[in-house]
Amino acid sequence: MSKKNRDILNDIDDLLDEIDGSTNSADLIEDDQSHVNENDWNEIQKIRLQNVISEDGFVQHTTSEDKLQLFLSYYPAKGDGVELTTDTVKKYLISQGVNSLGNIDWVSVERAIKVANSSKRTVFNKLVVSGYLPKNRVPEKVYIIPEFEKKVVHSDNESEDEVDYHEYSSFIMVDEGKEIGSITPEVSGLNGVDVYGNEIPFETEKSEKWEFGKNIKLENDKIVAAKYGALVIKKCNISIEDVLNVKGNVDFSTGNIKFKGNIRISGYIQEGFTVVSKGKLFCEDSIYGANVQAKEGIWVKKGILGKEKGKIFCGGDIQTKYIENAIVSAEGNVEADNGILHSQVFCSNKVKSGKKGMIVASKIYAQNGVSCAQLGSKGGSTVEVYCGVDFVMQEKLKKIQNSQIELAQEVIKQEEILEKVTDPEERKNIASKLSAYSEYKDKLTKLTISILERLDQNETASVKVKGKIFPGAYIEICHIAYLVKNEMLAQEFYLDKSVGKVVSKPLVS
Amino acid sequence: MKKLLIVDDEEMIIKSIKMILKEYGIDVTGYSNSQEGVISAIEETYDLILVDIRMPDLNGAEFTKKVKSEKPESKIMVITAFPQDPLAQEALDAGAFTLLKKPFEIVKILSYFKEADKE
């Protein structure tokens, strides 16, 4: 150092000592050049630098917690130290285990080095390399169309204000060919890489393994119903049951049920509910005041208790333990083991009851005959048995006939009015009404005639009673009446055509 | 054309039955007075006779007895709401071959004529 410069420094030191004896003169000089000319200032800077300990430039790094980002801080050289270069950075990174130098953002590194070297200031935390997360493997997934995942199906007729909870069905019926869902294919996994070049293995996402059961088919990636039935989705298993199995009762938990196939109910059918099957219906308990229809047959393990509300219609046979306070109609046989009480039974074939089966206080219409253990009761309650005629058809005719009677009475009334009325306009109106009635009357007549033609009679139909027949029991065979006057035992009632009467004979067991 | 006699104290019923059965080609004669009805039943020939079980002057059972005694071949249906009515039993005993329940079982009448035609 020249003497001159040394003298300048000493002056400054003295000045500092007066203010604060602990401050480093070199630092202060850097910040305060107001009283020093430029040339001197540059000289001072040189001195200062000469007084600082020389240190090479260096870098330091930090990584993110997940090791997917690496940041460098660039410390410039001090004194006569070697400036930072990209080689410095490379060597450093390699020493830290960063092997994938190809991923380094060298443009950013060079920029940071330049800034650090020129400004002599540290450049902190610059991102130089990023890794990437693995892409997890996604196994094949099954997507079910939302409408089939819902268990509640609203009735079409439901308005916002009226909700009939009977119609909230917990069963979903699907038609053949209906799309139920789809399969999304598997997505392969891809390993990730951290900043050190280490592989991050991918994981496999959790997924349920689906099974496609009965009556389900796959069409490309679509899941389709192979048959009409009840859709059952249970723990990753999809199937379609052609027999609808109701575990428990038909009540508010199930809602009304309509099914094109067979229905099996392990419980009872509650009052007020409707069950319709185009196949057979099996009920392991009883039917209480419900409306039940089955095209092929109804089997009820216990009884049918109509509670004066329930109606049962069947295209085949009905089998049950007993029938009470119900209206039952069958195109096949009706078998009620223990008997029929306070009911109306219409049957195109035979009504049968078991060894102890009684028919009491009921109206039985059975085209091909009746057999029971007891007819009527001691109390004299009315029992009527009609045989020999197709009553199912006859019931249809009765409905027409009621319309005919109402119509006839209306016509008579209008004709009486017409006789008294003189006003032409009024007469015209009445005439117009009568013309309309006449047209309607013709239609009803034609309908009646066509049904009548199909109304067969079975003159061999008989009523067989193994036990007692009580007085008051009324029997008709092919419209020929027989009224039981005295108590009888074990008789067969039949139509004797030769005398045109219903007669009885002892029943041969 | 089939001929039918109806004896019922309610005029409206007679008129209704006449109107309906006319559509089926059945000629209906009606009397609201049972005495007049008896005379007509005996003097005329009818394919079927309908008589109400309960009428002011002559009930259905008595009517049946009278007609059957003079014309045993007559086919009589007794009109009643209650098959267990003792009078209905009397009428059946007197020779009526069946009961016709109220409200009117027109089907039964038509069915009868259909079977009669077959024979």
Taking Cα atoms as reference points, which of A452, A347, A326 lies closest to residue A391?
Answer: A347
Is the Cβ of A474 closer than 8 Å to some Cβ of chain B?
Answer: yes
**Chain A partners of B20 at a C-beta cutoff of 8 Å?**
401, 404-405, 408
Tens digit of each residue's pLDDT (9 = 90 or more) over B50-95: 999 998 889 999 999 999 999 999 999 999 988 888 898 899 989 9
Across the interface, whether the CB atoms of A481 and B92 are under 8 A apart is answered: yes
Token reading at A84 = 């930072």
Q: Which of B19, B21, B77, B90 to mutate to test the interface with A (most CBs of A within 10 A)?
A: B19
pLDDT averaged over every residue in chain A: 85
Token reading at B96 = 């009526």
Tally of CB atoms within 10 A around A213: 13
Q: How confident is the model at residue A298 (pLDDT cuts 50, 70, 90)?
A: very high
How far apart, in Å, do the first and last CA atoms of chain A sit?
147
Across the interface, whether the CB atoms of A472 and B84 are under 8 A apart is answered: yes
Counting other chains too, the contacts that A499-502 makes at CB distance below 8 Å and 24 or more residues apart are A500/B97, A501/B97, A502/A475, A502/A476, A502/A477
Is the Cβ of A394 closer than 8 Å to some Cβ of chain B?
Answer: yes
> d(Cα A271, Cα A256) in Å, to the nearest integer?
11
How close B35 gets to chain A, by Cα (Å)?
Answer: 25
Q: Which amino acid is at A382?
A: T
Q: Strand A237-241 to strand A211-212: parallel, antiparallel, or no bridges (unpaired)?
A: parallel
The alpha carbon of residue A425 and the mean position of all alpha carbons in its chain are separated, in whole angstroms, by 61
> d(Cα A333, Cα A318) in Å, to the nearest integer?
6
Tell me how long chain B is.
119
What mean pLDDT is predicted for residues A203-212?
88
Residues 6+ apart with CB under 8 A from A457: A388, A389, A390, A478, B111, B115
Q: How confident is the model at residue A197 (pLDDT cuts 50, 70, 90)?
A: confident
Locate tokens 């390699």: which residue?
A94
Q: How confident is the model at residue B111 (pLDDT cuts 50, 70, 90)?
A: confident
pLDDT at A318 over 80: yes
By Cβ distance, the residue of B96, B99, B107 closest to A398 is: B107
86-145 in chain A: CB under 8 A from chain B: none
Residue B15, classed as helix, strand or coil, is: helix
**Chain B partners of A457 at a C-beta cutoff of 8 Å?**
111, 115
Is the Cβ of B68 closer than 8 Å to some Cβ of chain A?
Answer: no
Is the Cβ of B103 closer than 8 Å to some Cβ of chain A?
Answer: yes
Residue A292, classed as helix, strand or coil, is: strand
Tell me the sheet residues that pair with A217: A224
A188 and A137 Cβ atoms separated by less than 8 Å: yes
Tens digit of each residue's pLDDT (9 = 90 or more) over A33-87: 555 566 666 666 666 555 557 789 999 999 999 999 999 999 999 888 999 999 9
Is the Cβ of B105 closer than 8 Å to some Cβ of chain A?
Answer: yes
B75 and B50 Cβ atoms separated by less than 8 Å: no
Taking Cα atoms as reference points, which of A295, A170, A179 lies closest to residue A245?
Answer: A170
Q: What is the pLDDT of residue A45?
A: 61
Residue A215, classed as helix, strand or coil, is: coil
- E strand segments, A325-472: 327-330, 334-341, 344-347, 351-353, 358-360, 363-366, 370-372, 374-375, 384-387, 463-469
Q: How confident is the model at residue A155 (pLDDT cuts 50, 70, 90)?
A: very low
> d(Cα B96, Cα A483) in Å, to the nearest integer?
12
Q: What is the pLDDT of residue A336?
A: 95
What mean pLDDT is predicted for residues B11-38?
90
A231 and A173 Cβ atoms separated by less than 8 Å: yes
Is the Cβ of A469 closer than 8 Å to some Cβ of chain B?
Answer: no
> d(Cα A92, Cα A59) in Å, to the nearest integer?
7
Taking Cα atoms as reference points, which of A471, A474, A482 lies closest to residue A505?
Answer: A482
Across the interface, whether the CB atoms of A401 and B105 are under 8 A apart is answered: yes
Q: What is the pLDDT of residue B110?
A: 85
Is the Cβ of A443 closer than 8 Å to some Cβ of chain B?
Answer: no
Q: How confident is the model at residue A11 (pLDDT cuts 50, 70, 90)?
A: low
Is the Cβ of B84 closer than 8 Å to some Cβ of chain A?
Answer: yes
A35 or A103: which carries more pLDDT confidence? A103
> d(Cα A215, Cα A222) in Å, to the nearest integer?
14
Locate tokens 């092919």: which residue?
A478
A200 or A15: which carries more pLDDT confidence? A200
Tens digit of each residue's pLDDT (9 = 90 or more) over A454-496: 776 799 999 999 999 999 899 999 888 899 989 999 999 999 9
Is the Cβ of A478 closer than 8 Å to some Cβ of chain B?
Answer: yes
What one-character DSSP code corresponds to residue A166? G
Residues 6+ apart with CB under 8 A from A61: A70, A71, A72, A73, A92, A93, A96, A98
Token reading at A509 = 């067991």
**Chain A partners of B106 at a C-beta cutoff of 8 Å?**
401, 404-405
Question: What percent of chain A clears pLDDT 70, i.e. is strictly above it?
Answer: 85
Backbone angles phi, psi at B100, to 5 degrees: -115, 115
3-state secondary structure A76-101: CCECCCCCCCHHHHHHHHHHCCCCCH
Report the residue of chain B nearest A409, measured CA to CA.
B16
pLDDT at A339 over 90: yes
How close A446 gets to chain B, by Cα (Å)?
Answer: 9
Answer left, alpha or beta for residue A197, where phi above 0 means left and psi between -120 and 50 means alpha: left
What mean pLDDT is predicted for residues A441-455?
84
Report the residue of chain A nearest B23, measured CA to CA.
A445
Is the Cβ of B115 closer than 8 Å to some Cβ of chain A?
Answer: yes
A30 and A48 Cβ atoms separated by less than 8 Å: yes
Is the Cβ of A390 closer than 8 Å to some Cβ of chain B?
Answer: no
**Chain B partners of A500 at a C-beta cutoff of 8 Å?**
97
Tens digit of each residue's pLDDT (9 = 90 or more) over A354-370: 988 999 999 999 999 99
Q: What is the pLDDT of residue B112?
A: 85
What mean pLDDT is predicted for residues A371-379?
92
By Cβ distance, the residue of A382, A479, A485 closest to B111 is: A479
Q: What is the pLDDT of residue A63?
A: 92
pTM score, whole prediction: 0.65
How close A483 gets to chain B, by Cα (Å)?
Answer: 7
**Chain A partners of B111 at a C-beta cutoff of 8 Å?**
389, 394, 452, 455, 457, 479
Tens digit of each residue's pLDDT (9 = 90 or more) over A395-429: 778 888 888 888 888 888 898 899 999 999 999 99
How close B28 gets to chain A, by Cα (Å)?
Answer: 14
Q: What is the pLDDT of residue A27?
A: 41
Across the interface, whether the CB atoms of A408 and B105 are under 8 A apart is answered: no
Tens digit of each residue's pLDDT (9 = 90 or more) over A213-225: 989 999 989 999 9
Tell me the sheet residues that pair with A58: A75
Q: Which of B10, B76, B84 to mutate to test the interface with A (most CBs of A within 10 A)?
A: B84
CA–CA distance from A263 to each of A92, A119, A239, A497, B15 (Å)? 78, 88, 16, 45, 51
pLDDT at A157 over 50: no
> d(Cα A420, Cα A437) in Å, to the nearest integer?
20
Across the interface, whether the CB atoms of B111 and A402 are under 8 A apart is answered: no
A257 and A264 Cβ atoms separated by less than 8 Å: no
How close B56 gets to chain A, by Cα (Å)?
Answer: 23
Is the Cβ of A414 closer than 8 Å to some Cβ of chain B?
Answer: no
Token reading at A235 = 């723990």
Element (H, E) at A443: helix A424-453
Element (H, E) at A173: strand A173-174
Q: What is the pLDDT of residue B41?
A: 95
Estimate the share of chain B in helix, then strand, then coil, as percent rounded to the nearest 5: 45, 20, 30
Q: What is the pLDDT of residue A508?
A: 80
Token reading at A28 = 């202060």
